Structure 1
Amino acid sequence: MKRILLLLTSVIFAPYAAADIMCYACGGTGEESTCLNNPDRVVKCPYECCTITRIEFIEDGTLSSFGRGCQNNCKKDGVYKTPDSTFLTYQTYCRSPKCNDGDGTEDPDGGKGDGSNEIHGIKGKSGCLAVSASFSTLLLPLLGRLILR
């Protein structure tokens, strides 16, 4: 009985432990970059969040480079600006499907179109999948210990 309960619990929470997210992935330079203006490559990312990295020259604000992707160890969702003597770097983090679709200077809006976190007009919260994954990662070992006692 304990093994059946453990197996059932694992099956229920397994989808949350493997938190893949769909993100745009591309790179380019200059204002005419396809990556900046019309991203179309979407990847199933095994990491925590989608990202945008935008680097501008401080002197005149022109775009040096631009990229979209995904990574682990993300900061809280939003845009973080880091200036140095030559460049202003914008680093954007977001956790809903295809949320890395903006120009990298404003907070992500939770995705548009196909990647929206909206169901029947009701807005979801960004990061819900990540929270569920963290919760199940902590919960499964505890349930296993309780069941196997």
Structure 2
Amino acid sequence: MKVNLLIITAALYLPHVAANIMCYTCVSTLDDRTCIDDPQKVALSSPITNCSMECCTVTRQEYIEDGSIASFSRSCQNNCEKDGVYKYPDPTFLTYFTYCRSPLCNEGDGTENPDGGQGDKSREIWGIKGKSSCAFVSPSISTLLLIMALLVLP
């Protein structure tokens, strides 16, 4: 019984530990705004990155004075905040950090919540957003702890 429980637990959690996420990765320059305006076009000229990281990101930095873009990039990273857009102003810049965890979700201009990479509501059921390519609901840490406790108990 305990061996079966251990196998089931490993089967549920292993895909989440080893999973990669597809993200747009590009940088816009003053001369080329393709990364900002059309990340899908950038993806046609260079491959979309299969990141072995926790989430996709968008980083946008604007000058406070006139709102023009100082820097812009799409990437992936570990140690991400909760999905969403975070604004950090300082005397010179307003910096936006966007974090999301579904494939190709790091599109958009970096000032609004990502829509999950499809530009529509294809991952919503009755207005409840979900993850793409998700065959089951991700098990929680409390579930893992419960199963581990059952394995230890006599």
TM-score (norm 2): 0.72
Query: Does the 8 Å contact 2:22/2:50 carry over to 1?
Result: yes
Aligned to 1:38: 38
Say if 2:131 is the partner of 1:118: no
Give the deviation of 1:31 after TM superposition: 6.5
Q: Does 1:20 align with 2:20?
A: yes
Give how far 1:82 is off: 1.6
Unaligned runs of 5+ in 1: none
Structure 2: gaps spanning 5 or more residues: none
Report the CA distance between 1:138 and its aligned residue: 4.9
Distance (whole Å) between structure 1 residues aligned to residue 108 and residue 62 of structure 2: 15
* Aligned residue-pair number: 143
Where has structure 1 moved over 6 Å in runs of 4 or more?
none
Aligned in 2, Cα 1:68/1:126: closer, same or farther, shift over 3 Å?
Answer: farther
Q: Which amino acid letter does the alignment assign opposite residue 11 of structure 1? A: A
- Decide which of 40, 56, 61 is 2:62's aligned counterpart: 56
Q: Which amino acid aligns with 2:87?
A: K
Question: Residue 89 of structure 2 is aligned with which of 83, 90, 95?
Answer: 83
- The verdict on how the C-alpha distance between 1:143 and 1:89 changes in structure 2, with shifts beyond 3 A counting, is same
Matched residue SS, 2:15: helix
1:5-38 Cα offsets, whole Å, 9 max, x none, are: 4224322432133343221111122263322123
State percent identity of aligned pairs.
Answer: 52
Shift of 1:66: 0.6
